[in-house]
Amino acid sequence: MKVLYFIFMLFLISCNDYTPKPKGYSRIDKEAYKLMEFKGAKFSFLYPSNAKIEYLDSEDKSEIWFNIIYPNYNATIYCTYIPSGKQGISKMLDHSYRLAYVHTVKAESISQSQFSDLLGNPIALIYDIKGAVASPVQFYITDNTSNFMRGSLYFDNAINPDSISPVVTYLRDDIVNMIESFKWINNTSK
């Protein structure tokens, strides 16, 4: 009888199909937006309420360094504002281009989306970098005369591009909202 009981238990245990569940990712919910303004800033913009702004000390006191941190997604947008003259803007645009295209070694493709003001002047550009790259989205915003701000999206951990694609799309939408709500303070340009 004990042998029969043992065989029955062995049969029950061995017939159990167990499949581990794949790793899940956070649910993405649209958030309300808040206005980002701080003392001494030359600009303002809207950012999502689920993000935090972290201000950093810069070596050059005319520059403003800050991060937009998304704790739910282990992501950070590193931002730098640099005041500059017309010739400086040209150098900043070139530098931004080179920082985006340094990813061509690993990138599958790099596309650009340009934003213009009402007069058709380019005021912002987003670089969408596809593939297993460190920064899938980079951008800049300028008034084309004296102000320039640059940002890069990075994730805290090594990433699988397919797994985080919905998060990248969500954060890119936040960047587009930031660009569209961006205003230069004490300046006639947006």
Q: Whole domain around residue 69: which residue ranges?
A: 34-184
The reply to whether 9 falls in a domain is no
- The total number of structural domains in the chain stands at 1
Alpha carbon distances (Å) from 13 to 9, 10, 53, 83 = 6, 5, 53, 69
Is the pTM higher than 0.75? The answer reads yes
User: What percent of the chain clears pLDDT 70, i.e. is strictly above it?
Assistant: 81
12 located within any domain: no
| 160 Cβ contact partners less than 8 Å away, ≥ 6 residues apart | 132
Within-domain flag for 14: no
Is residue 178 a part of any domain in this protein? Answer: yes
Q: Is residue 94 part of a domain?
A: yes
Q: What is the CATH number for 61? A: 3.40.1000
190 residues of the chain, pLDDT tens digit each: 777 777 766 666 655 565 666 666 556 777 789 998 766 668 899 999 999 999 988 777 778 899 999 998 899 999 999 888 766 888 999 999 999 998 888 889 999 999 988 777 779 999 999 988 889 999 999 988 888 999 999 998 866 777 788 889 999 999 999 999 998 886 444 4
How far apart, in Å, are the Cα atoms of 172 and each of 106, 120, 141?
20, 23, 14
Residue 22 lies in a domain: no
